[in-house]
């Protein structure tokens, strides 16, 4: 599952005790396991090797340049959804031939940069975006490759949050599937565009492999219609959405998804077609934890609260999606080590509401969570935080964003320093250095 484990009464990442990381870099701090990230990418690729996909890791899940470079060195491409993510992917040294750009509201500048870099594919999401891309291509003298993102009107399984469901009729993403063939034909008639594929992303996380099977059947029917009109389709991009295990055994394995997906696409691949995937969470989530420290304990009515130094500005998922993250003290009292991250395996626990320091009632990381007794200064690890953790941080309440640390064996590398108050206000003084506080 990952390279985080309890040894000698304390939590380690690979060959490094996390208490030492907190002592050196403070809290809150995101900590990533390089071995876990690489292992998950390699195992994902192995599961789908029969269709030899281009695997473009989703930068919106984890966008640190050092982590993108680590994956790029393994052969990964990068899925980007903004000009900033495109900049990060290029800065990480990823070949433009392995970069795709998606997003429902790309700016002209973002499209122009993608055209200039001649990236692998631009996933377009509306008729007006195709028209804008054609104009930019003429101005730049380029001929960008594009895929039409379609909305196949497929409801995911019930475990997929409504806020991350992206392929039911009426949502903002993609082109209604019945309009896609005509749009593909118009793009093919423009001498400055190279429409080559269909893109679909059905939401995240998707726990039922058969949802992908349904999407593939609809995409293949669309491909047949497009090609019947004389326009070849050489790429099918199935997006991402593959789940991660927030609790052990909670998600199907990659082989189960491959069993549902690969047989349906082998014919397309055998005639020379290219498959693209855009996984993020499934590779990165369990490659990272967020280290935090207890600041206070307090009583609120009948409830026991633990206030930690990480809140919704540092890890937003619980407040946004009511999501579950396993958490545990880094060095629990009396050696209270959970079995397979199952708090029920430990006796003498306290039901805590775990809250952050943010001035919002939604700033809860857990409610009624059974944990060992804790006191101010104790370290807590919030697990499965490698995806949509750091990328969703903010400066709300003028909080400072955390540090990020990458661990490979016993090697510990700071890959993003903690923000300072000078960082916080620097952009508010565009023509000068921020003034110093009086001593």
Residues 146 and 133: beta-carbon distance below 8 Å: yes
Please indicate if the annotation marks 321 as binding a ligand: yes
pLDDT at 16: 98
For the stretch 298-331, pLDDT in tens is 999 999 999 999 999 999 999 998 999 999 999 9
Domains of the chain, first to last: 4-31+286-428 (2.40.37.10), 33-284 (3.20.20.10)
Distances in whole angstroms, Cα of residue 407 to Cα of each of 4, 328, 416, 436 = 11, 20, 13, 35
pLDDT for res 250? 85
Q: Which residues contact 284 (CB under 8 A, 6 or more apart)?
A: 37, 40, 57, 61, 62, 67, 244, 386, 387
Q: Judge whether 66 and 38 are in contact, CB under 8 Å.
A: no
DSSP per-residue string spanning 408-422: ETTEEEEEEPPP-HH
Highest mean pLDDT out of 133-147, 200-214, 241-255, 424-438: 133-147
Question: Can you tell me the mean pLDDT for 77-104?
Answer: 98
In this prediction, residue 420 carries a pLDDT of 96
Query: Once rounded to an integer, what is the mean pLDDT over residues 223-236?
Result: 98
| 202-211, 223-232, 376-385, 393-402: least confident range | 202-211
Q: Which residue has the higher pLDDT, 422 or 344?
A: 422
pLDDT higher than 60, residue 37: yes
Give the span between the Cα atoms of 85 and 68, in whole angstroms: 10
b/e code 135-155 from CB counts within 10 Å (16+ = b): ebbeebebebbbbbbbbbbbe
Q: How far is CA 278 from the centre of its chain?
A: 10
Say what the pLDDT of residue 330 is: 97
Contact status, residue 365 vs residue 308, Cβ threshold 8 Å: yes
pLDDT at residue 157 tops 70 = no
Query: 51 pairs with which residues across the strands?
Result: none
Give residue 203's pLDDT band: very low, low, confident or very high (50, 70, 90). confident
Please indicate if the annotation marks 41 as binding a ligand.
no
Angle, alpha carbons 406-408-413 (nearest 5°): 40
The answer on pLDDT for 212 being more than 60 is yes
Please tell me the predicted confidence (pLDDT) of residue 260. Answer: 97
Q: Over pLDDT 70: what percentage of the chain?
A: 95
Residue 212 marked ligand-binding: no
For 300, residues 6+ apart whose C-beta sits below 8 A from its C-beta are 353
Is the model's pLDDT at 364 over the cut of 70?
Answer: yes
pLDDT at 192: 97
Residue 160 confidence class, pLDDT cut points 50, 70, 90: low
pLDDT at position 357 is 98
Q: Do the annotations mark residue 281 as ligand-binding?
A: yes
pLDDT tier, 436 (very low <50, low <70, confident <90, very high otherwise) = confident
Mean local confidence (pLDDT), 39-56: 98
Q: Is 194 marked as a binding-site residue?
A: no
Q: What is the mean pLDDT of residues 28-55?
A: 98
Least confident among 34-38, 144-148, 205-209: 205-209
296 marked as part of a ligand binding site: no
Mean pLDDT of 201-220: 93
Report whether 262 contacts 47 (CB < 8 A).
no
Helix (H, G, I), strand (E, B) or coil at 402: coil
**Is position 301 annotated in a ligand binding site?**
no
| pLDDT of 339 strictly over 80 | no
Q: In whole angstroms, give the CA distance from residue 313 to residue 401.
A: 8
Is position 209 annotated in a ligand binding site? no
Please identify which of the residues 13, 121, 262, 359 carries the catalytic annotation: 359
279 is in an annotated binding site: yes
Q: Quick check: is 359 catalytic? A: yes
Identify the pLDDT of residue 44.
Answer: 98
User: pTM, whole model, 2 decimals?
Assistant: 0.95
Confidence of residue 379 (pLDDT cuts 50, 70, 90): very high
pLDDT at 165 over 80: no
- C-alpha distances (whole Å) from 112 to each of 60, 65, 95, 133 are 21, 22, 18, 8
pLDDT digits (tens, 9 = 90+) for 252-303: 999 999 999 999 999 999 999 999 999 999 999 999 999 999 999 999 999 9
Contact 310, 401 (CB under 8 A): no
158 pLDDT above the threshold of 60: no
Helices (H) and strands (E) in the chain, counts: 12, 21
Chain segment 350-361, per-residue pLDDT in tens: 999 999 999 999
Mean pLDDT value across residues 409-425: 97
């Amino acid at each position: 599952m990952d390279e985080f484990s309890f040894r000698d009464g304390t939590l380690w990442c690979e060959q490094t005790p996390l208490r030492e990381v907190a002592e050196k870099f403070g809290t809150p701090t995101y900590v990533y396991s390089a071995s876990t990230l690489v292992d998950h990418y390699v195992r994902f690729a192995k599961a789908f090797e029969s269709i030899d996909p281009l695997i473009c890791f989703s930068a919106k899940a984890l966008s640190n340049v050092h982590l993108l470079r680590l994956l790029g060195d393994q052969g990964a491409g990068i899925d980007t959804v903004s000009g900033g993510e495109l900049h990060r992917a290029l800065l990480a040294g990823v070949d433009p031939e392995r970069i795709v750009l998606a997003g429902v509201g790309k700016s002209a500048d973002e499209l122009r940069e993608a055209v200039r870099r001649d990236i692998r594919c631009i996933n377009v999401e509306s008729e007006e975006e195709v028209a804008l891309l054609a104009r930019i291509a003429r101005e730049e003298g380029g001929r960008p490759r594009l895929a039409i993102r379609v909305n196949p009107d497929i409801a995911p399984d019930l475990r997929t949050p409504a806020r991350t469901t992206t392929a039911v009729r009426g949502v903002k993403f993609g082109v209604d599937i019945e309009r896609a063939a005509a749009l593909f034909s118009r793009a093919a008639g423009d001498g400055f565009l190279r429409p080559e594929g269909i893109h679909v992303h059905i939401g995240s996380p998707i726990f039922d492999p058969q949802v992908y099977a349904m999407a593939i059947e609809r995409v293949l029917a669309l491909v047949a219609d497009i090609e019947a009109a004389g326009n070849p389709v050489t790429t099918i991009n199935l997006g991402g959405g593959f789940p991660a295990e927030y609790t052990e055994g909670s998600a199907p394995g990659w082989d189960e998804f491959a069993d549902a997906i690969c047989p349906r696409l082998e014919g397309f691949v055998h005639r020379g077609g290219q498959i693209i995937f855009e996984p993020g969470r499934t590779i990165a989530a369990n490659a990272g934890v967020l280290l935090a420290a207890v600041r206070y304990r307090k009583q609120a009515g009948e409830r026991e609260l633990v206030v930690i130094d990480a809140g919704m500005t540092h890890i937003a998922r619980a407040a946004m999606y009511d999501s579950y993250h396993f958490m545990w003290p880094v060095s629990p009292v009396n050696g209270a080590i959970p079995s397979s991250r199952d708090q029920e395996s430990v006796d003498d626990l306290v039901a805590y509401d775990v809250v952050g320091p943010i001035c919002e009632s939604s700033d809860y990381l857990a409610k009624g969570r059974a944990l060992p007794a804790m006191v101010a200064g104790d370290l807590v690890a919030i697990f499965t935080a490698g995806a949509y953790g750091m990328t969703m941080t903010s400066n709300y309440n003028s909080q400072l964003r955390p540090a990020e640390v990458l661990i490979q064996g016993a090697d510990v590398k700071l890959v993003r320093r903690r923000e300072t108050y000078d960082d916080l206000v620097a952009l508010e003084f565009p023509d000068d250095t921020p003034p110093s506080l009086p001593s």
